[in-house]
Each structure stands twice: as structure tokens, then as C-alpha cells.
Amino acid sequence: MVGDRRRSSLFDFLLFSASLLCLCLAPIPASAHRRKLRFGVDGEFKILQVADMHFANGATTRCLDVLPSQKAHCSDVNTTVFMSRVIAAEKPDLIVFTGDNIFGFDVKDAVKSLNAAFAPAIASKIPWVAILGNHDQESTLTRQELMNHIVKLPNTLSQVNPPEAAHYIDGFGNYNLQIHGAADSSLQNKSVLNLYLLDSGDYSSVPYMEGYDWVKTSQQFWFDRTSKRLQREYNAKPNPQQGMAPGLAYFHIPLPEFWSFDSKNATKGVRQEGTSSASTNSGFFTTMVARGDVKSVFVGHDHVNDFCGKLKGLNLCYGGGFGYHAYGKAGWERRARVVVADLNKKRSGKWGDVKSIRTWKRLDDQHLSVIDAQLLWSNSANVSVVL
């Protein structure tokens, strides 16, 4: 009997080990599976930014600020058609919606409007993410409810908040995305480009500080911790890398530092209105410059500004207004910003770390004109980049 018991406990042990092994090898259930983002075999990763769709109820919602001749046949459907066209033309690896996805004041049902607003991205099967602006919550859902709905939509990598920071972080829609090196390269398991998405809020609720909201201390703390953790992973074995992987930050409301530029000293693009930042400076610009990994910030909010300017090594870029139910400028086309990161090719012929970050814009005209192509960052003084 003793022998039997021993045999059966050995059997139990083997069974236990086998089931552990199975747990490790079992495919992650589809619902929990987050598609890994990585650079393509062409050594590129392309991001399409869609700023300020201001989507409302679809075909019955009229366009703002279009030419008199365009008024009669223009609705939210034009926003949808523009998105489908620009996705087809650019074939991005990721689509980022930087808030005011819907214009709450005119929305009857936030769920319907959100679903319709994101429909072309969902139909494309391309991974996409969204954060909130200051108008998304003005109809039937709160900011938390909006993010709870968004994270359940197909093909999205959006998160309500990072699990490790959910108990202290302000806002809804703060998260990090890691873009891994090319498949079949030594960096295939490392994040070589880090995206930070942040909720820049809506309106201040602090007495004596009226106006738009800002990126709070708790969010900056999370950013700083996350950036440091990502660097530790980047520098760790196997294949330890030097320094930091470059980062990009996306949120809705511009930082006060966007005021530093006009049409003359922006690197590309135009200023046609003021910067509607918070009335107070919460220091996020300083936090990013001090940390050093973020190379460019991308915001929306001010629809007829579409410039990039460089301050203390950090690029500050507007997306330019995308949606037709958003205020704009008649005759000045709705637009979208594209960002491409390119990898270094090593002597072995394999792809390495990120070499450069470029951007341009697409206009909603007949040929989806490309304008304002520019190099935002490169990791060597002598990189010959073809724009």
C-alpha cells in the first residue's frame, strides 16, 4: 500500500507538473489576447493620428465650416469616408484617436456614436486605440463609462488604466503601448518604440483655476515610473541595449509650451488660432524633457493649428482637425497626421533599433495630398532619411 501511495503521489506530481506546463503553453484565450505590436519586415512602423472627429449622429449631423457650395451634401458621413480613404492610402500599423471622438452636446446615444465614429478603423482590422478629449463625455456616458465601452470594441488595444496604477492615477485612458523590434531580429522581444497615451481631462474642477484640464501629478508619476521600467527592460539581458528606446506621447489638450510657436518658427505647418491649453502649467513638458525618452508629443483640440515645433529637443505637434462636425476653416481641408518610425539595418542585414521618426499630413482633397513631410528625430547625426 505504501508503494502504491508513493506511486500515486508521484503520479499526482507528474500530473501537476504536466498541467503547469499546459498552463504555460496553452494559447491565451482570444478575449484576453492583446495583439503584439511590432515593426514590419520593411523595418517600419506607421501610426495614423485622427484628431477631433466630433462625430455626432451620422447622416443627419451637418458639417461646420465648409464652403457654401459644400454645405448641402456634407455630414458625419464625410468624416467616415475620409477615414476609410486615408486608412486605405496609408495602411498604418496602428490608428490613434486623440479625443473629441464624439461631440457630446449633439449626441443622442454615446454608444451608437462611438461605434459609428470608430467603424472604419474597426472594419480595417488594424489595431487602434483611443483616448478622450473634453467633449466626449457630454452626452449619455461619463468618461469612465466611455473608456469601459471603448476597450470592449473589436481590435482595440485601448485600456481604461494600467493595472499597476489604477488605484492612484487620475483620469480614464492612461496606458503604454510597446512596439517590438522586427520579427526574426535580435530585438524581436524588446520594445524599441514606446507610446504613452494619457487622459488630459476636460475642464478644471479646482477653484481659482478655471479653464481646461491638465495632465496631473499622478499621471506624470506613472509616466516617469513606466519610462524607467521600460528602460530597465531595454537595457536588460538578453540582447541588452544602450540608453533608452524613443517614445511618443499622445493626448488631447495641448501643453502651454505649444504657445512657443507661430507659423514662422514652427518647423512645419501653421498656427491659425491660439493654444487652448490649461490656464496653469502642470509641468508635464518638464517631466518629459527631464526623462528624455519622448521625442514628440501629438495633440488635437485646436483644429486649425497643424504645426510641429521643437523646444528643448522635444517636438510638439498638432494633428490638425479631422472631423466635419468640428469647427474648422472653410476651404482649408480636414487632415490627419501620419508618423513613421524606421529601424536601423545592421551589417548582418537584420533590423536593429529605431533610426528615425518622420511625419507628414494627409489632406481630405481629391488625391489625399501629402504635405509637410519632416524628420522629427534621428538617433545619429548623419542619417540620410528619404522623406
Ligand X SMILES: *[C@@H]1O[C@H](CO)[C@@H](O)[C@H](O)[C@H]1NC(C)=O
Sites of contact with ligand X (CB under 6 A): 66, 70, 73-74, 78, 186, 188-189, 238, 260-262, 265, 311, 382, 384
CB closer to ligand X out of 12 and 262: 262
Buried b (16+ CB within 10 A) or exposed e, 276-313: ebbeeebebbebbeebebbbbbbbbbbbbbbbbbbeee
At closest approach, how far in Å is the CB of 72 from ligand X?
9
At closest approach, how far in Å is the CB of 383 from ligand X?
8
At closest approach, how far in Å is the CB of 265 from ligand X?
4
At closest approach, how far in Å is the CB of 263 from ligand X?
9
At closest approach, how far in Å is the CB of 181 from ligand X?
8
CB closer to ligand X out of 14 and 236: 236
Q: For helices 217-235 and 284-291, give the axis angle rounded to 10 degrees.
A: 10
At closest approach, how far in Å is the CB of 310 from ligand X?
8
CB closer to ligand X out of 66 and 132: 66
CB closer to ligand X out of 1 and 381: 381
Contact 93, 127 (CB under 8 A): yes
Report CA torsion sign: 185, 187, 190, 192.
negative
At closest approach, how far in Å is the CB of 382 from ligand X?
4
CB closer to ligand X out of 17 and 189: 189
Contact 74, 27 (CB under 8 A): no
CB closer to ligand X out of 131 and 294: 294
CB closer to ligand X out of 201 and 320: 320
The C-alpha atoms of residue 29 and residue 77 are separated, in whole angstroms, by: 36
Tally Cβ neighbours within 10 Å of residue 327: 14
Residue 356 in grid coordinates: 528615425
At closest approach, how far in Å is the CB of 74 from ligand X?
4
Contact 358, 350 (CB under 8 A): no
At closest approach, how far in Å is the CB of 33 from ligand X?
15
CB closer to ligand X out of 165 and 192: 192
CB closer to ligand X out of 1 and 24: 24
CB closer to ligand X out of 284 and 324: 324
At closest approach, how far in Å is the CB of 239 from ligand X?
6
